[in-house]
Structure 1
Amino acid sequence: MEDFFGSLKTERVHGAQFCTRDEVKAAMFEYIEVRQSTAFAPMLRRPHSS
């Protein structure tokens, strides 16, 4: 879990300037969605064995 938050800070927070909480929420949501979709993409593409 610490690795996730470290990556989040490095990739999204450091150097970024947000004017509102909504901007922060949108950036966090986008980061999580992209990270999750790329993390699970290989599993979704595997054919099922029968």
Structure 2
Amino acid sequence: MVDAWLDFMLGPMRSVGDVYFEHQMIFNTLIVAAAVWQVRKKRPSRSVEETENL
């Protein structure tokens, strides 16, 4: 059922999905690492004065 749906939706691009499924651990690790990096980059860093008051 899922294969038929993927064939219908992706058509000739199905080979891209095959490559993804073969190497999904690598791709998912890169995506999660990029998301964590973006979250850490947007978070304001605490100054020395703020950490001394805690």
Shorter-chain TM-score: which interval? Answer: 0.3 to 0.5
| Alignment TM-score, normalising by the size of structure 2 | 0.43
Relative contact order: is structure 1 or structure 2 higher (C-alpha 8 Å, sep ≥ 6)? 1
Q: Which protein shows a greater Rg?
A: 2
**Larger helix share, 1 or 2:** 2
| Alignment TM-score, normalising by the size of structure 1 | 0.46
